[in-house]
Amino acid sequence: MVTDWLHNPRALMLMPLVAATLCAFVLAATRRRMPPEQPRWRLVRALIVVAFWIAGLAVPYAALGRWSGMLLMPPMGLGAGVWLSLAANVLGIALFFGWLIPWGIEGRSLRDIGWKRHHAIRYFLIAGIITLIVASFSPMRGLPEDFKETLGIQDVHAGTIIGMPIPLMWVLLLGFVYSGWTEENFFRGHLLPAFREVGLSGRRANMAQAGIFVLMHVPGLIASLSAGKAALGPGGMLTAVAFPLVVWWLYGLLFGWLRMRFDSIVPGFAVHGTWNAVYFARAWIGVFVVMQGLS
């Protein structure tokens, strides 16, 4: 029974939410012994959140391996029940990790996290323009060349998603809520200040939170590489592992620098959400076109 449950995508997609809920209970139960008002304990508690977060991601990725990408695919044609469970998972994670834990349990207001109206309209306007430009010229990914030629969709680009309401809503939800809101609120709005409060300089605190930001992505990287180990070979595997880790670390540094430079989380959220939305659109546009054609 347990084995069946661990191979059921509908159950596995709730694992991050289960981990977030358990984490919230642990933090609430230990509030007196490890008061978040003390900088040392605040940092320890933030690292506990990271551990639960990584565990909640690792279980479904490990169980599904190369098929773990289906956990984030939009529920096109799968019925309202699956749609609601997927959306609830995304919103639930964003609610717990991105708001309830930093705000309700650890005591940081949204203003402390960095949500300030300082030039917010300008940042989102710039992010929107960049999104349209990048999406218009980005080639699609995720389908073999011969398959694209057979289906006659070799010229599809990420901007095509604008005319597809469900996939568009899904990539915006993943880009700006699942990733942008949750990760920026926690890593740059809660973890970065926690490192500063224990005495680390801005540069060291930024490097530390960026390193932990990388660790959060490791379960997904392992799952994505598990299917292609033999084809890549040792050298290819090293490159496939090292390159994304370095890129994620640089992104973490950039988002942390934006947070400290502007004393606001809005610039990093706009850039992060924009990049992830375009990434998901590029990665899945071919699949979206095929699914739409078959529906």
Instruction: Report the share of the chain in percent with pLDDT over 90.
Output: 36
Rg (CA), the chain: 20
Residues 6+ apart with CB under 8 A from 66: 223, 224, 226, 227
pLDDT score at 134? 59
Structure tokens at 139: 């080639």
Tell me the CA distances in angstroms from 220 to 17, 22, 85, 229, one per residue in order: 16, 21, 21, 15
Angle at 112 between CA 258 and CA 214, to 5 degrees: 50
Tell me the CA distances in angstroms from 147 to 70, 143, 144, one per residue in order: 20, 7, 5
Average confidence (pLDDT) over 220-232: 67
Distance CA 194, CA 126 (A): 30
Number of structural domains (the chain) is: 1
Average confidence (pLDDT) over 227-255: 76
Band of pLDDT at residue 171, cut at 50, 70 and 90? confident
Distance CA 209, CA 249 (A): 9
Question: When comparing pLDDT for 130 and 215, which is higher?
Answer: 215
Q: Which residue shows structure tokens 């084995």?
A: 3
pLDDT score at 1? 40
Report residue 239: phi and psi, to 5°: -65, -45
Structure tokens at 220: 């997904």
Average confidence (pLDDT) over 234-248: 78
The alpha helices in the chain, defined as continuous H runs, are 2-6, 9-12, 15-29, 39-64, 80-95, 110-113, 120-137, 145-151, 165-172, 182-183, 192-197, 202-226, 229-262, 266-294
The parent domain of residue 153 ranges over 2-294
Instruction: For residue range 56-114, list pLDDT tens digits in order.
Output: 988 888 887 767 766 777 665 555 556 666 777 788 889 999 999 999 899 999 989 99
Q: What's the chain's average pLDDT?
A: 80
DSSP state of 109: -
Question: When comparing pLDDT for 49 and 81, which is higher?
Answer: 49
pTM, two decimals, is: 0.85
Average confidence (pLDDT) over 38-51: 96
Band of pLDDT at residue 183, cut at 50, 70 and 90? very high
